[in-house]
Amino acid sequence: MPEKPGQGAVPVRGPVRQVAGYRTNGCTVLELRGDVDIVTALRITPDLDAATASAAPRVVVDLNAVTFLDASGLTLLCRIHRRTREQGGRLTMACGRPRTLRILRLTGLDSRFRPVPTLAEAISLHEGPAGLR
């Protein structure tokens, strides 16, 4: 994966880029965008699986550009979390959007993911022991 944001390390099939993947500070950042629904989940699951396949991945999921999140999107987030843990890695999440945070809270997933408001903050959690295991 490239080291700079915007160089799309996670190839996405189809004309709409709903995920950008890149590496920074030793972390793989997965920036989800727009509607994360069943169509999106089916389209990007293979790419996200590839991004979480390495040994002990340090993964940051950025939801700050997500405008809609349904059950399929929540399932996708749980899959990223599970695959990261199975590989002995750590996951952190950035989300400052009230709507998305409300969905995470209502489903109880806020306690699993423990989102922080900014991408920088989520990346910084990988520097200490506080990252999600």
What pLDDT, in 10s, does the model give residues 1-22? 444 444 444 443 444 478 999 9
What pLDDT, in 10s, does the model give residues 90-118? 999 999 999 999 999 999 999 999 999 99
Q: What is the pTM of this model?
A: 0.82
Rounded-to-integer distance, Cα 27 and Cα 30, Å: 10
Beta bridge partner(s), residue 92? 60
Rounded-to-integer distance, Cα 58 and Cα 82, Å: 13
Structure tokens belonging to residue 69: 């999140």
